[in-house]
Structure 1
Amino acid sequence: MSRSGGRRALALAGALTIAAAGSAVVAPAAATAAAAVTATCTKTSDWGTGFEGKCTITNGTGTAISGWRLEFDLPSGTSIGATWDAKKSVSGDHYTFTDAGWNATIQAGGTASFGFNGTGSGWISGCTINGAACDGSGQPGGDTQAPSAPGNLRSTGKTATSVTLAWNAATDDVGVTAYDVYRGDTKAATVTGTSATVSGLSPDTTYTFTVRARDAAGNTSPASNAVSVTTDADDGNPDPGPSDRKIIGYFAEWGVYQRNYHVKNIDTSGSAAKLTHINYAFGNVQNGQCTIGDSYAAYDRFYSAAESVDGQADTWDSGALRGNFNQLRKLKKKYPHLKVLWSFGGWSWSGGFGQAARNPAAFADSCYRLVEDPRWADVFDGIDIDWEYPNACGATCDNSGPDAFRELMAALRQRFGPNNLVTAAITADASSGGKIDAADYGGAAQYVDWYLPMTYDFFGAFDADGPTAPHSPLTSYPGIPQEGFNSDAAIQKLKAKGVPASKLLLGIGFYGRGWTGVTQSAPGGSATGPAPGTYEQGIEDYKVLKDRCPATGTVGGTAYAHCGNQWWGYDTPATIGGKMNYVKNQGLAGSFFWELSGDTGNGELISAMRNGLG
């Protein structure tokens, strides 16, 4: 059975749990000491097998602190999941929490709190705040050691109005929490990673940059080496836009939680300049209507200046737009060529389409009113429907009939009109009698601007014992487990049903699917189960796999890797280059991918797409 979209659903399900529970973490209860920074943590709820907790950090010193870092250990069998108002990292049983940006500064005598959900019956030990004991013993003083200077500051790109910089990470006895980028003596940016783009510069002008590292206690490193960069000359002509072929990337709403991937990352990775469209995933489908997925992430989460696309913090003014929607608005202002569509459905939320199909006009009207809500109407340029799957089975089975999809898309086109985009992510199951045959995709093509056939997730460790096979083969190959489960078969079948090539995009997965217990390097081996993954068994981002399990071969136009007893299939920049040649040779509209956070910090995969399409 085709599993196109399955990865999204499972990721979404986990993200919704995080969103519902909140997101933050805790430190142990401790006595407050005078003239020290202390932390007190308590269980606010305890149901035996789990708990909810809260940690409060108190600045008992006479001066404000800028940034905080709380660490502790948990016993085996106890863990912390969702956290809120803090950033969490985990190494074994050791947990580290740092400020969320907006609550970094604690005035003298002030407090900051964060919360979390946990499983198990244990509690924390070895609590430290800014490198000193949470109960204040050993303070004042605490962490007084500054980080080392960042090394090898260099320019990795420039335009007439911006410079992109990178550097080697600094070290610290407790941990680096931020880097401040200086243009001369002026602080130009603050980031948590080891790269930054400084914008708002003048053409044909030389600027000198340095970077300083900062820890949670506010200790600042010496400056890095200085680098001087001359911006490009402005020839008076607008920057060339993207090619006529589309590059569309999905932005996962829940990525702002555990993945810590935000709209700003689309900019700093260089992806925004290479994209033509962003699909915002996902809105829900309930009671025959389009509804909000996660309102907090979508339009309420506060973004600090350091987290924001334009370096300006959100406001708490009544009616002010915040969250992902406001960040997308800022991204579009910075990159005027970008279009954004709101995608509804996905694996987990496709169960509501059957009811929607009973009254397509009412469904279309609900979607239009939501997408065109005055609070964010300028953010979106249309709607994308991800129904998995019409008249077939996905997470649930639909029996709305072969005409339902066509009628739904017709109603959406009528309501959204000719000036808004109407698109659909669709199945790529080209097997005989498979999902492409179950609905009238050819008839519905007249109503859509383009289709996004999900040409990935064909194979994976949902078949736990194998056989191993790359999840996104471009073409068939000898021994492929299921005929019709490859990208070319899907494209050819859709074209045969009357879908113009100019309305089809090729799908790329920015992740791999893998098995464990595999001894055979070539495809077709047996396995004992899914390989371990950061967020879900059997799935891992490209940015992790490229180093952890490098590709060892290619088959069917994509790559695979055998390392130890693990076997993974995923695309690399080289195989993406071949797939982009296929897009051009077939006259397709372009390519799309799931999803942005799977790429490297400098956008290796999207760069391969852009370079391949020209």
Structure 2
Amino acid sequence: MRSGTARRFKRRITAFGIALVLPIGLLVGLASPAQAAEQATATFIKTSDWGTGFGGQWTVKNTGDTTMDTWKLEWDFPSGTTAGSHWNGTITKDGNHYTATPSSWNGSLTPGQSTTIGFNGTGGGEPSNCKINGKPCDGGGEPGDAAPTAPSGLKAGTITDTSIDLSWSAATDDKGVSKYHVFRNGTEVAAVTGTSYKDSGLTKGTQYSYSVTAEDTIGQTSPASNTVQATTTGGGGNPDPPGQYKKMGYFTEWGVYGRNYHAKNIDTSGSAGKLTHINYAFGNVQGGKCTIGDSYAAIDKAYTADQSVDGVADTWDQPLRGNFNQLLKLKKKNPNLKILWSFGGWTWSGGFGDAMKNPAAFAESCYNLVNDPRWQGLFDGIDLDWEYPNACGLSCDTSGPGVMKDMMQAFRTKFGDQLVTAAITADGSDGGKIDKADYAGGAQYADWYNVMTYDFFGAWAKDGPTAPHSPLRAYNGIPQDGFNSDAAIQKLKAKGVSADKLLLGIGFYGRGWTGVTQSEPGGTATGAAPGKYEAGIDDYKELKNRCPATGTVGGTAYAHCGNQWWSYDTPSTINGKMDYAKQQGLGGAFFWELSGDTSNGELMTAIDSGLK
């Protein structure tokens, strides 16, 4: 703030010095540029509309010639229209009057720079009486300098798989309209002199929102036109039949070692015929590019006949072996099964921030690796498992909230009709990880999100309190508000993410404590319970007999055996969660990960039967 104060102080001294030596008549001539030094405009667009509500977005732009240190946006809504949950700033309400102020990171705007603040609203009204920093939002308000009227009658004409034709009625202005600015999903995509525009290079089967503003010959901007939404024709990259629930499971690259879990196990357990998708985990992100994680496991490990999906042994000279070759054989036996390559994960998310400094180059590197001719036909798309954009996981990222939208847009542009998905946070707490990035903006480019509704609680809090790691809903005594599946789903929906683009996450494992005497949740502990592969965590197939469930809480199961306390999902609790997924209109469910299930696929069967 000190630098901004210094700039303002310097301008006052300069103006005073000029007043000492210039005639009064010349001061009048100088008044207009001085007033124009700090100017801003604000335009509104509905990014989505579902009848009873809408997604709204304001774009604030510095149209002056000096940096704005902060901004304050005000408007009125008619009775019956309200603004609710919001992001990228703070919105307060006084009757029908609303005031928006920025977050800490988007208050200062350099000349020409813009930022957005979004919200979810109810009702169907439009904003009025807009002011930005106390002045009209159109940038006008000076005597004799009326801003243009808003363009009217915006409509979509011819629509193809990749383009939408737009047209509108001309705005009027006392000095004449010089150009029209076309906005797609709140971002300017073109400036044209006529009253039509063809927006091309779009994605099949995808909905877009448009608005238009007019600019006059002295640079004043009109209010936005009406918002129009249009959906391109075609499949949009999601080839699943309408109404089919997605049932996706992760297959881990390293599972072929200590866990001795291979592609053949997916087949012999019966899970292959019940899955719609498999995510192969994980590829790495290094040096701004996607790279293979473990090349031996992926493409070189030799399989004997009894280990192979089709009973045919690998030979020493065949061009492709390992998991990739086995998964190709699995797809051949299950023609409807689709496989995505997942990149990142908890350990390998650290490279995403640097990679996103050049999103197009990052996406291209991943596209070339996923579609490498050596494993042609294996992968149907990519899954981006960044934990967590603009937040902290194993490492911290400070890319800003817009990075999620930028990433998904870059990958959709490059991958076209192939699947593009992402694993995302389920932190539904106030100000939590869902609030840190623009997941709604990214969703328009994604086929779906895998919402990681597990690992809410665990023995990293070694003293407890004991709590289920994957609660469906909150319960009395839950240690953290917003740490449950329903809170995450409702928050994402409120931000404007379509329910059918959300998959509910299920853990095929449990998390546990030792030193526990209390059977119910909320007990104290002394540390992590022993697990077969890692302390504090174990597979369902190990726990179901070693420490059987003794109760349920929040829609999931828990078990108290000896001095240990575990929580995990069972076929019964999974059935309840699948009912929830259907009631909420979700796109389906996914789970981490295949090797945690029993040899006959008990949990996979529960997901499959629950999503009929």
Q: Tell me the TM-score normalised to structure 2 length.
A: 0.60
Within a 5 Å distance, the mapping from 1:450-461 to structure 2 comes to: 450-461=448-459
Q: CA deviation at 1:277?
A: 0.1
**In 1: Cα distance, 2:359 partner to 2:376 partner:** 22
Flag structure 2 segments of 5+ consecutive residues without an equivalent.
1-240
Contact 2:404–2:441 (8 Å) recurs in 1: no
Q: Which residue identity lines up with residue 396 of structure 1 in the other structure?
A: S
Q: Which residue identity lines up with residue 526 of structure 1 in the other structure?
A: T
Q: CA deviation at 1:317?
A: 1.9
Residue 309 (structure 1) aligned with residue 313 (structure 2): no
Residue 285 (structure 1) aligned with residue 285 (structure 2): yes
SS in 2 for 1:340: strand
CA RMSD across the alignment: 1.2
**In 1: Cα distance, 2:485 partner to 2:598 partner:** 24
**In 2: Cα distance, 1:497 partner to 1:324 partner:** 39
Aligned match of 2:263: 263
Q: Which residue identity lines up with residue 276 of structure 1 in the other structure?
A: T
Q: Which residue identity lines up with residue 422 of structure 2 in the other structure?
A: A
Q: Which residue identity lines up with residue 506 of structure 1 in the other structure?
A: L
Aligned match of 1:359: 358
Contact 1:243–1:613 (8 Å) recurs in 2: no
Aligned match of 2:512: 514
Q: Which residue identity lines up with residue 401 of structure 1 in the other structure?
A: G
Within a 5 Å distance, the mapping from 1:14-413 to structure 2 comes to: 244-317=244-317, 320-413=319-412
Aligned pairs, number: 373
SS in 2 for 1:554: strand
Q: Which residue identity lines up with residue 254 of structure 2 in the other structure?
A: W
Q: Which residue identity lines up with residue 357 of structure 2 in the other structure?
A: R
Q: Which residue identity lines up with residue 591 of structure 1 in the other structure?
A: A
**In 2: Cα distance, 1:246 partner to 1:479 partner:** 33
- Report Cα offsets for 1:442-495 as digits up to 9, x if no partner: 011010000001000000001100000000000000000001000000000000
**In 2: Cα distance, 1:475 partner to 1:451 partner:** 20
SS in 2 for 1:505: strand
Q: CA deviation at 1:315?
A: 1.8
Quick one: which of 540, 550, 553 aligns to 2:551? 553
Structure of greater Rg: 2
Q: CA deviation at 1:510?
A: 0.1
Cα distance change of structure 1 residues 414 and 336 upon mapping to structure 2, 3 Å threshold: same
Aligned match of 1:26: none
Contact 1:242–1:274 (8 Å) recurs in 2: no
Q: CA deviation at 1:243?
A: 7.5
Quick one: which of 541, 544, 557 aligns to 2:542? 544
Q: CA deviation at 1:316?
A: 1.9
SS in 2 for 1:524: coil
**In 2: Cα distance, 1:401 partner to 1:613 partner:** 37
- Report Cα offsets for 1:212-249 as digits up to 9, x if no partner: xxxxxxxxxxxxxxxxxxxxxxxxxxxxx997101000
Q: Which residue identity lines up with residue 254 of structure 1 in the other structure?
A: W
SS in 1 for 2:373: coil
Aligned match of 1:585: 583
SS in 1 for 2:483: coil
Q: CA deviation at 1:405?
A: 1.4
**In 2: Cα distance, 1:611 partner to 1:415 partner:** 36
**In 2: Cα distance, 1:338 partner to 1:406 partner:** 28
**In 1: Cα distance, 2:525 partner to 2:498 partner:** 40
**In 1: Cα distance, 2:315 partner to 2:484 partner:** 48
The runs of at least 4 consecutive aligned structure 1 residues that moved more than 6 Å come to: none
Q: Which residue identity lines up with residue 499 of structure 1 in the other structure?
A: V
**In 2: Cα distance, 1:373 partner to 1:544 partner:** 38
Aligned match of 1:432: 430
Q: CA deviation at 1:392?
A: 0.3
Q: CA deviation at 1:557?
A: 0.2
Q: Percent identity?
A: 76
SS in 2 for 1:306: helix
**In 2: Cα distance, 1:295 partner to 1:313 partner:** 19
**In 1: Cα distance, 2:294 partner to 2:376 partner:** 18
**In 2: Cα distance, 1:377 partner to 1:339 partner:** 13
- Report Cα offsets for 1:500-541 as digits up to 9, x if no partner: 001000000000000000000000000000000000000000
Q: Tell me the TM-score normalised to structure 1 length.
A: 0.60
**In 2: Cα distance, 1:294 partner to 1:497 partner:** 37
- Report Cα offsets for 1:390-446 as digits up to 9, x if no partner: 0000000000111111101110000001x2000000000000000000000001101
SS in 2 for 1:375: helix
SS in 1 for 2:505: strand
Contact 1:242–1:276 (8 Å) recurs in 2: no
Contact 2:273–2:334 (8 Å) recurs in 1: yes
Cα distance change of structure 1 residues 597 and 242 upon mapping to structure 2, 3 Å threshold: farther
**In 2: Cα distance, 1:310 partner to 1:276 partner:** 20
Flag structure 1 segments of 5+ consecutive residues without an equivalent.
1-240
Aligned match of 1:525: 523
Within a 5 Å distance, the mapping from 1:404-483 to structure 2 comes to: 404-417=403-416, 419-483=417-481
Q: CA deviation at 1:377?
A: 2.5
- Report Cα offsets for 1:565-584 as digits up to 9, x if no partner: 00000000000000000011
Q: Which residue identity lines up with residue 413 of structure 1 in the other structure?
A: R
Residue 572 (structure 1) aligned with residue 570 (structure 2): yes
